[in-house]
Amino acid sequence: MNRDNSENKTRAVKGKTAFSRLREQEKSARQDVIVDAAQRVFAVKPFNKVSIRDVAMEAGISHASIYRYFPDQQALFVEAFLRGAKEIVQVLDDIVRNSDQGDIEKVTEEFIIYMIENDQYFRMMTHFMLDGSLSADMVEKLNSMERLLFAEFDKLFLKMAGAEVGDVRLMSHAFFAALNGVLITFRNYPGRNREEVTRHMRRVAGIIANKFKA
């Protein structure tokens, strides 16, 4: 009898564990759908013009459903923004970590290509830079991720020249600003198709990389 009870309890525990795992997977899938929709909406509308209802319409769900996962528009924006930031930080980390000299040419190339291929993330970033304002805790989340991005550029310049720490972060800021300048300036280059624009951006960014390398 005791053995039967023990086996029943074990099956019950396993059943609850499997059910909990399934619920977590479903929750994660719903969050992904919402964040995907948010990225598309934030990419075409200024940050302060997007509402939860806009995202709900894009996702094909009720706006009440979004509030189960995100308390407000700011939290949703930050989650969507951080997804892209984490991806580009990982891309840069892989390059810098696996290169003796940091490989600024490849870092530059991959940064430009990532922003071109993930246009929604670049649009979100520029919309927020121009129009966004966030609560202090949301700003800190973005700042934490920004520091990770600049840390990758710091490591790049340290590997390249062993510069003093006081100079490295300023170089990282200048490098980041220069690459974003290329993306903004030539994104809608008149009379050029997408392939030509991409090729031109890569060439200009390559010049920047060589200047920083020098």
Q: What is the mean pLDDT of residues 158-186?
A: 85
**Confidence at residue 6, expressed as pLDDT on a 0 to 100 scale:** 60
**Confidence at residue 11, expressed as pLDDT on a 0 to 100 scale:** 59
CATH number for position 86: 1.10.357.10
157's tokens: 């310049």
Provide the angle, in degrees to the nearest 10, between the axes of the packed helices 194-213 and 104-117. Answer: 150
| Domain total in the chain | 1
Q: What is the pLDDT of residues 144-169, one digit of tens each?
A: 888 899 999 999 998 887 655 558 88
Q: What is the mean pLDDT of residues 16-35?
A: 78
**Alpha carbons 155 and 165: distance in angstroms, whole number:** 10
192's tokens: 């050029």
**Confidence at residue 174, expressed as pLDDT on a 0 to 100 scale:** 95
Q: What is the DSSP letter of 45?
A: S
| Mean pLDDT taken over the chain | 84
Q: What is the pLDDT of residues 90-129, one digit of tens each?
A: 999 999 999 888 799 999 999 999 999 888 788 777 767 7
**Confidence at residue 109, expressed as pLDDT on a 0 to 100 scale:** 95
Which domain does 203 fall in, by range? 2-213
- Position 53 confidence tier, pLDDT thresholds 50, 70, 90: very high
Q: What is the mean pLDDT of residues 62-71?
A: 89
3-state secondary structure (DSSP) of residue 132: coil
Residue 112 near residue 68 (C-beta atoms within 8 A):
no
Give the other-Cβ count within 10 Å of 161's Cβ.
15
pLDDT at residue 202 is higher than 90: yes
pLDDT at residue 8 is higher than 70: no
* Alpha helix segments (H runs only) across 134-193: 136-161, 165-186
